[in-house]
Structure 1
Amino acid sequence: MTTGRSRCVALFVLVAVAAQAASAVVSDGLLPNGDFEQGPDESQMKDTRVMSPNAIPQWEISGFVEYIGSGHTQDDMILPVPEGARAVRLGNDATIRQELCVIRQAYYSITFTAARSCAQAEALNVSVTPDFGVLPIQTVYTSSGWDSYSWAFKAKHSTVWLSIHNPGHEENPACGPLVDFIAIKALHPPHHVQAGNMLRNGDFEEGPHIFPDVPWGVLVPPMSEDLYSPLPGWMVLSDTKVVKYVDAAHHAVPRGARAVELVAGMECALVQEARTVPGRAYRLSFSVGDGANGCEGTLGVDVYAGQTRATASYESRGTGGHRRVELDFEAAEGLTRVVFHSSNYHMKPDGTLCGPVVDDVSLVPVHRHAARRLRM
């Protein structure tokens, strides 16, 4: 015969297991229904517009949200879906959001794929309260029209809401960005420099999630210094342009599995600051090359180390390859800013932007007599 005590114990165990399952920390990769392949019932839609706030499994919506199938047309224009069969379109004041269980005080990056559908100056507001970022998506970096973007946050609570919002208001309320493939990745920011390199994440191995079946890499947007970078250790300085985070599965990478492609010419800079001793000599070393993505020509990189500037170039045939560059300089201040940007604008034969690949960046002290020399 079951006693009251045993029933209470069994009930407690069941409640504990259920609570643990409900509060499982989100794992790296695609969010639940992050590809939107699970859609609303027809009764919850009016044509392509989703009418119920909970109609898309795992998501809450508000505003003018459409559920788009691959091949959907608008004014004789086909709205493609990058992978799978479904995506969402965020029209006027539209928001999609999902509740996530995370580790409090941990750092995370969000990767999602988006495409412009109407206006020339579309943007998306990505937020996890109290942090937010407005990501400009008017520049297209792929021939398909779809780009993958990244954004990072520090979890202030163990349960957070991730929201993606279209702040635009167009005459056609359906106009707005298409969104698909939303993923998360826990970041491990290198707070301390490693032995033999004064720069953090100089090999770019720590960064946002890259979708394995998407060949175009991930864009790291511009940010101010008080925000969290999806590329730990590095800042991207620009008004609207980005750098591209690429992987060895789809690009030629000088070393390791990840690198950065400078795709926005002189409008965007990759930056990191390092503590230095004024008057002491240092050597900045890095690899420059091409990503084997058809980006041909003289790929130049302007590099700054404090007050010292130099230009390094790589003659590219668009098939991969790189060279090692060393810049010796004398620190002028206690904090030296290392800056990389492309010397010029480059385009592939399909008309999309490209540029030099930078990887394996290191900064080390050297003997004084070596200062102010560029070696290639």
Structure 2
Amino acid sequence: MAKKSELPFSSVFRLLQVLICLSILSTFVTAQDGVTAEDGLLVNGNFEKEGIENRTSRAGDIDSLPGWNIDGMVEYINEGQKQGSIYLVVPEGKHAVRLGNEAQISQQINIQKGSTYSLTFSAARTCAQLESLNVSVPPSTRNVDLQTLYSIYGWDTYAWAFQAQSENVEVIFQNPGMEEDPTCGPILDAIALKQISTPDKLRDNAVINGDFEEGPWMFANETLGVLLPTNLDVATSSLPGWIMESSKAVRYIDSNHYKVPEGKRAIELLSGKEGIISQMVETDPGNKYTMSFLLGQAGDGCQEPMAVMAFAGDQADSFHFNNPPANGIYEPNNVTFTAKAARTRIAFYSLYYNTRVRDRSSLCGPVIDLVKVVDLSKSGTVAGFSGFSVSLLLLVSVLTMAFTLGSL
């Protein structure tokens, strides 16, 4: 009788180890695909490469600002430079540029057509009068109001997203105003680009990017966070899945400079009802859901009390942050609702207009993180596994069955 073929257990174990390693490597490589060569500073995006000696350039003198084309009066600002008795703000490094009336700077960049990108840039106004900055990647354009100062430092960092209509686009920053005082005009510095990838929806969470880990470029020394101004188009959002539907910005923060409840990124709500963040999530009409989130404080000396208003469908509730919470960092909260349609709106805003204790001027507020919407009729142990975990379980089951059959 022919000897029955058997697969040694050690061989099966080694094969299982190899397959698991390949699965992990595949997951890692897939995650790295979202990082593009364009992520980071634009060419001379911090204006540290100087142009001509007199620091002032006019139309046609494109060599005056390396990496950039110039149209109109653009002034090269040095750290410590004064206008009268007032020091001009240089947000990052030792140099910045100031745009005169209707002046602009622009740069051609090569990117991936059809993809969404976010520009991060620092800007400041130089006079008390209303100033704004227009940022555009034609045909997309946006005016950023610089009148509201979110910090006492005289400048803030903003993010604005666009969808690439071609592989070669022009990034333009312009002073759209005609100021009575020609020495006024916005100061611009530290311009970076990041390709935005929308995270996949999880099996056990209807919220996209509920942990806020995917968002605009953040500089390593970005101590003020990044402001996300009003944006009603979720397709071109610097914060994938979310829109900012009110008149004021919310702040995107990182764990290097702030207290973040979970992971490396979170959202700090500012300006009360004027700073609303929301998302439309997929739901099954008639099913019961719970929306959960973590509520915390950024550790930036924000004046108490702090509270958030949370909306989920037709349900709304307010949640106050008790400092310090039981775990010292955050408090878990939830709102239960019954879906009335195939898409349900969830939203958050701060109940109060909070400022920092030390200056009574810098805007701050409660922090939200790890937002989840779970269908209670489907929730359970199996739903809690990620796709990767389920794949591994199936793989182990198949190999175990093969080993068993081979031993018979």
Give the TM bin, normalised by the shorter chain. 0.7 to 0.9
Specify which of 268, 280, 290 is matched with residue 275 of structure 2.
Answer: 268
Higher strand share: 1
Give CA deviations for 1:185-239 in whole Å, capped at 9, x if unaligned: 111023x421111011000000001111120110001012376100010000113
Instruction: Tell me the SS of whatever aligns to 1:54.
Output: helix
User: Which of the residues 36, 52, 61 maps onto 1:41?
Assistant: 52
Q: C-alpha distance in 2, partners of 1:346/1:147?
A: 17
* Per-residue CA distance 1:214-271 (angstroms, 9 max, x = gap): 20110001012376100010000113x1000000000000000000000121112101
Q: How many angstroms apart in 2 are the aligned matches of 1:308 and 1:81? A: 46
Counterpart residue identity of residue 300, structure 2: N
Q: Which residue of 2 aligns with 1:71?
A: 80
1:17-71, CA deviations, whole angstroms, 9 ceiling, x for partnerless residues? xxxxxxxx852111111110111122xx4xx432323310000111221101011
| One-letter code aligned to 1:366 | L
The size of the alignment, in residue pairs, is 338
Deviations 1:293-315 (A, max 9, x none): 11131211101111111011102
Residue identity opposite 1:365 in structure 2:
D
- Distance between the aligned counterparts of 1:176 and 1:308, measured in 2? 45
- How has the CA–CA distance of structure 1 residues 128 and 26 changed in structure 2, closer, same or farther, with 3 Å as cutoff? farther
Are positions 1:303 and 2:310 aligned together? yes
Give the 3 Å change call, closer, same or farther, for CA 305–120 of structure 1 in structure 2: farther
Aligned residues of 1:295 and 1:317 also touching (Cα < 8 A): no
For residue 321 of structure 1, the aligned residue among 316, 322, 329 is 329
* SS of the residue 1:266 aligns to: helix
Per the TM alignment, residue 136 of structure 1 is displaced from its structure 2 partner at its CA by 1.3
The one-letter code sitting in structure 2 at the alignment partner of 1:206 is E
Counterpart of 2:275, as a letter, is: C
Tell me, yes or no, if structure 1 residue 105 matches structure 2 residue 118.
no
Alignment partners' CA distance in 2, 1:232 and 1:54: 37
Query: Structure 1-normalised TM-score?
Result: 0.86
If the length of structure 2 is used for normalisation, what is the TM-score? Answer: 0.80
- Largest Rg, 1 or 2: 2
Identity value in percent? 42
Deviation at 1:284, TM superposition (A): 0.2
Higher helix fraction (1 or 2): 2
Secondary structure of the residue aligned to 2:306 is strand
8 A contact 2:89–2:187 mirrored in 1: no
- The yes-or-no answer on 1:83 pairing with 2:92 is yes
CA contact (8 A) 2:231 2:243 kept: yes
Which residues of 2 match residues 94-133 of structure 1 at below 5 A?
94-133=103-142
Conservation of the 8 A alpha-carbon contact between 1:295 and 1:316: no
- Listed one character per residue, the Cα deviations across residues 59-95 of structure 1 (whole Å, up to 9, x for unaligned) are 0111221101011111211113122211001121011
1:195 corresponds to: 203
Say if 2:165 is the partner of 1:156: yes
Matched, 1:334 2:345: no
In the alignment, which residue of structure 1 is the partner of 2:406?
none
Q: 2:256 aligns with which of 249, 260, 270?
A: 249
Runs of 4 or more, structure 1, over 3 Å off, are: none
Q: Which residue of 1 aligns with 2:362?
A: 352
Letter in 2 for 1:272: Q
- SS at structure 1 position matched to 2:299: coil
User: 1:153 & 1:37 partners in 2: Cα distance?
Assistant: 26
Letter of the structure 2 residue corresponding to residue 354 of structure 1: C
Pick the aligned partner of 1:171 from 180, 183, 193: 180
- Aligned-pair RMSD on alpha carbons? 1.8
- Alignment check: 8 A CA contact 1:66 1:88 kept: yes
Could you tell me which residue of structure 1 aligns to residue 374 of structure 2?
364
